[in-house]
């Protein structure tokens, strides 16, 4: 299980490394010290909220604003952990370690890559990804400005490409997944267009509505409706 976790984590390691290079570089440009920037990646380990932290610091936001925004942005992991928790075989004292590394990407890989989810698998997958994230942060802070600006710009798409690469084979296998994926994305888009709520709440609402739609579509299919 450990070696499968490392193997499955490798694409995330590559993706995280390059994305974290951008984070490290931005941390430096925001005026943080090396250890400060690195400690964010070491301790928080949550991509989007780390970038948000930098922009909030730059705009002079206060403690409460930063912490509440982080909570809202990362609260979706509650849903992802719940989805993994119902598949997790056998809990042990390692559970708090396994839970630390639940991110969008490790969740996606574990959900689709593993037929069985165990603590050793999750810890191996998460640690591999974590190594990329922390290593990339350090490299970006120290040497990120050596990358051509155009490459830095294009790399903003990298994690989204990883998500597409995870989803496409699933959709190919089962085309009826696509409506739910697009519906959830469409709801998220519409909500962010309306701008009533923060992006964290938008995403949570979109995920909940998407799951509910999928659930009822499947109920209908099971009852033999066309």
Partner 1 sequence: MNIYLIVLAMMAVTYLPRLFPFLALDEEKIPPALKKWLAWLPYAALGALIIPGGLTAIDGPWWISPLGLLIAAGISWFYNNMIVTVLMTLALLYFIPLG
Segment 1 to 20, residues that bind partner 1, using CB under 8 A: 10-11, 14-15
CB-CB contact of 7 with 147 (8 Å): no
Number of residues lying near partner 1 (CB under 8 A):
93
Binding-residue pattern over the window 116 to 145 for partner 1, x denoting contact by CB under 8 A: ------------------------------
Residue with Cβ nearer partner 1 (36 or 143): 36
Q: How many CB atoms lie within 10 A of CB 65?
A: 12
SS3 content of the chain, % helix, strand, coil (to 5): 80, 0, 15
From the list 1, 6, 34, 39, which residue makes contact with partner 1 (rule: CB under 8 A)?
39
CB-CB contact of 146 with 24 (8 Å): no
Under the binding rule (CB under 8 A), the answer on residue 80 touching partner 1 is yes
The residues, any chain, with a CB within 8 Å of residue 49's CB and separated by 6 or more, are 69, 70, 73, 74
CB-CB contact of 129 with 98 (8 Å): no
CB of 32 to partner 1, least distance (A): 7
Under the binding rule (CB under 8 A), the answer on residue 162 touching partner 1 is yes
CB of 157 to partner 1, least distance (A): 4
What are the backbone angles phi and psi of residue 118, rounded to the nearest 5°? -125, 165
Under the binding rule (CB under 8 A), the answer on residue 70 touching partner 1 is yes
Segment 176 to 215, residues that bind partner 1, using CB under 8 A: 177, 180-189, 192, 202-203, 206-212, 214-215
Helices 199-222 and 76-85 cross at an angle (nearest 10°) of: 40
From the list 5, 21, 26, 49, which residue makes contact with partner 1 (rule: CB under 8 A)?
49
């Amino acid at each position: 299980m450990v070696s499968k976790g490392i193997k499955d984590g490798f694409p995330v390691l590559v993706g995280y490394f390059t994305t974290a290079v951008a984070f490290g570089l931005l941390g430096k440009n925001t005026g943080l010290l090396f250890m400060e920037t690195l400690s964010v990646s070491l301790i928080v380990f949550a991509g989007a909220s780390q970038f948000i932290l930098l922009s909030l610091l730059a705009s002079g936001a206060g403690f409460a604003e930063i912490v509440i925004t982080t909570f809202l942005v990362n609260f979706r992991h509650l849903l992802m952990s719940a989805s993994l928790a119902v598949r997790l075989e056998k809990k042990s004292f390692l559970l708090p370690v396994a839970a630390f590394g639940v991110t969008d990407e490790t969740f996606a890989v574990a959900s689709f890559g593993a037929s069985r989810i165990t603590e050793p698998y999750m810890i191996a997958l998460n640690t591999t990804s974590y190594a990329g994230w922390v290593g990339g942060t350090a490299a970006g802070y120290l040497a990120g400005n050596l990358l051509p600006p155009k490459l830095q710009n294009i790399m903003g798409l990298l994690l989204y490409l990883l998500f597409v690469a995870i989803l496409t084979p699933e959709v190919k296998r089962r085309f009826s997944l696509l409506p739910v994926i697009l519906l959830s994305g469409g709801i998220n888009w519409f909500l962010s267009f309306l701008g009533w709520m923060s992006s964290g709440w938008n995403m949570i609402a979109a995920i909940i509505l998407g799951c509910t739609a999928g659930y009822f579509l499947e109920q209908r299919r099971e009852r033999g409706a066309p």
